Copies of this chain bind each other. A is one copy, B any other.
Amino acid sequence: MTDTVVSSASRETVIGFERPFVIIGERINPTGRKVLAEEMKLGDFSRVEADALAQAEAGAHMLDVNAGIPLADEPALLAKVVRQVQSLTDLPLSIDSSIVGALEAGLAVYQGKALVNSVTGEEDRLERVLPLVAKHGAAVVAITNDETGISQDPDVRFEVAVKILNRAADHGIPKSDVVIDPLVMPIGAMGTAGQQAFHLVRRLRSELGVNTTCGASNVSFGLPNRNGINGAFLAMMIASGLTSAITNPLHTEIKQAVMACDVLTGQDRNSARWIAAHRDPSTPGRNRRRRKRSNEARPE
């Protein structure tokens, strides 16, 4: 059983096979969010704070923090956001950037053991990100593409995962500190994207014994009712072995699917969290259940 332990100054989150599924809140990310990007650039973090608190309240177990804004000083900005978010919530963070200097700046101010998002199988990334991860004793998300791009063949992506794990080991990073992202394609662009992802996650878990994560919304890109697809996708991925996802816990379908999966994998003991959540009137699904209940007055 592989446990990936991350932490803030005062709290641990564990990603693992025998653990509740870990939701990494995706909202603190200016990519595609113009207003947020503008505000962040001007040093206004009010929306970042609101997103942090709302995701924590909605049940995120970790928060992803990204400050990728074109023409901004991303290292300085990411460090500020990391500090700001850590002052508001004790959830462990995923420090997210494609710029190594920004990861470095974020790690420098981070309190606890962070998840670094991400390294790929590209030679240059491996040799710049892994030493940083090792130096800070962090964990790292490993994305299964390399210099040749993203292979359409999930078994090639599996080999990229093996390569990253081996290289991490060379840097003294144990496989329990590497969380593999199988790379999920939009199903609208590639009809086999779902089956590929299930197959790859199953192999990563059964053959390599590693934890996994993915951006769970990408699969539904371009389709109507995306959350309907995303909720089912998460359930199918969890049944295939996925142990965490970078997603939005504010979406009812996502949150409900993950909570139901915890019941069904036996990770919500005695369904205690599910039952408690449906006692609280503010919980997603609560009203729906009430309506269902009155339907059920007509016996089934």
Contact = CB atoms under 8 A, between A and B. Distances in A.
Nearest to A259: B228
A219 interface: yes
A264 B219 contact: yes
Interface string A258-276: 0111011110011100110
A110 interface: no
A3 B158 CA distance: 31
Looking at A32, A195, A292, the one whose CB has the most chain B CB atoms below 10 A away is A292
Q: How many copies does the complex hold?
A: 2
A260 B235 CA distance: 11
From A225, A248, A261, A266, residue with most partner B Cβ within 10 Å: A225
Given A271-B187, A274-B223, A278-B224, A260 B238 contact: no
A191 interface: yes
Given A191-B269, A274-B223, A292-B226, A34 B235 contact: no
A257 B198 CA distance: 16
A231 interface: yes
Contacts of A227: 288-289, 292
A239 to B, nearest CB: 4
Contact of A225 (B224, B229, B261, B278): B278
A260 B232 contact: yes
A233 B219 contact: no
